[in-house]
Homo-oligomer: A and B are copies of this chain.
């Protein structure tokens, strides 16, 4: 982790305090019951997120850098370990919702305790690797802030009462009143560099920066909208095998899937969508989200296009002359790419437990680029590689199209 985003350690520590507080803000509207439940093995209780992000600071930093380290609670090391085999045992993931103890107040006290100890530990911290881990901890907590929102959304969606987290109406995000026609931005074939550039923070999976040759292509200037996706659905999109990958077709039929995750067909043939604002009419201009990669690819095939590779996406997102024509790159929905999540040439995971952060997941997952409306401020980068299995739908996954162009050479 030789990179940092901050000019001074004081700025970093200030940002750390801000991010820690933001997690509390996110959960403020939730009851202890809301924070404790787990709706599926893929999702975690909000309380668990609050504890696990704290565990990261205690276990990855304080255990090594705190003078006279004493664990807040000896069992927490195991209880709130997510997947770090190097740390040792961990509580079974599907059983996180059974941890009614420690209760929410205890977890909040745990947070306060670790925060105080972190502050003390970093008052005059001279170890660069400690500061690097602190920055990693901030980024880690921001990732879990997004998961808090997707996980509570999934939990509430399982409730037949369709409760809203926020009692305000759903806001429209970066959305014009009318969906403008999709524009295609063209890129010539070229040898280019992708991967993180410069000295600011990045995850190890964004490195090393390296060369890729990309054939000529064009990229849609905006995301596919709900209205456009509805046309696909109404054209029999979920019933036409020829639009689907074989595994996607099996998945669709086994799971009896006929629409995006949070859509609901109304008796009058209109559609509603569940969000953190409750159940409300589907907005046709809003970008379609909560798609699996299977659905994204089926739509792309139907529309005569395809998904971009991550190299194409990054090329476009960093091209100085076209960048301003590309809308909704960040802050709306993560954009599926057709690229399997794989190590960049020369990739080497970090030493120690943090080496388990990214590298060991580089199989049977696909890369998403950009960021979503749930992504915390300051957590987006053009080189950022999010990744999920192809059937994943509870993330804010969206769809930007690409097309190959004939290369004249």
A211 adjacent to B211 (CB under 8 Å)? no
The yes or no answer to A85 lying at the interface (CB within 8 A) is: yes
The yes or no answer to A235 lying at the interface (CB within 8 A) is: no
The yes or no answer to A155 lying at the interface (CB within 8 A) is: yes
Task: Known A33-B104, A189-B211; judge A364-B160 contact (CB<8 A).
Answer: no
**Shortest Cβ distance from A405 into B: residue:** B346
B361 adjacent to A364 (CB under 8 Å)? no
Pick from B35, B97, B189, B356: contact of A97, CB under 8 Å: B97
Task: Known A32-B31, A103-B31; judge A97-B191 contact (CB<8 A).
Answer: no
Residues of B within 8 A of A34 (CB): 100-101
Interface string of A198-242 (1 = CB under 8 A from B): 000000000000111101010000000000000000000000011
Alpha-carbon separation in the docked complex, A33 to B45 (Å):
12
Residues of B within 8 A of A79 (CB): 160-161
**Shortest Cβ distance from A163 into B: residue:** B101
Interface string of A133-164 (1 = CB under 8 A from B): 00000000000000000000001101111010
Residues of B within 8 A of A293 (CB): 363
- Give the number of residues in A that approach B within 8 Å (Cβ atoms): 66
Interface string of A78-103 (1 = CB under 8 A from B): 11000101100001000101111111
Pick out which of these stretches binds chain B: A52-60, A244-252, A283-291, A316-324.
A244-252
A361 adjacent to B211 (CB under 8 Å)? no
A36 adjacent to B39 (CB under 8 Å)? no
Residues of B within 8 A of A356 (CB): 246
The yes or no answer to A185 lying at the interface (CB within 8 A) is: no
The yes or no answer to A340 lying at the interface (CB within 8 A) is: yes
Task: Known A85-B241, A191-B191, A345-B215; judge A160-B36 contact (CB<8 A).
Answer: no
The residues of A with any CB-CB pair to B shorter than 8 Å are 31-37, 39, 75, 78-79, 83, 85-86, 91, 95, 97-104, 155-156, 158-161, 163, 189, 191, 210-213, 215, 217, 241-242, 244-249, 293-294, 297, 306, 338-340, 342-343, 345-346, 356, 360-364, 390, 404
**Shortest Cβ distance from A306 into B: residue:** B343
Residues of B within 8 A of A155 (CB): 98, 100
A360 adjacent to B246 (CB under 8 Å)? yes
Residues of B within 8 A of A160 (CB): 75, 78-79, 91
Residues of B within 8 A of A37 (CB): 36-37, 97-98, 100
User: Smallest CB–CB gap between A379 and chain B, Å?
Assistant: 23
Pick from B103, B159, B390: contact of A100, CB under 8 Å: B159
B215 adjacent to A213 (CB under 8 Å)? no
Residues of B within 8 A of A78 (CB): 160
Alpha-carbon separation in the docked complex, A137 to B31 (Å):
31
**Shortest Cβ distance from A360 into B: residue:** B246
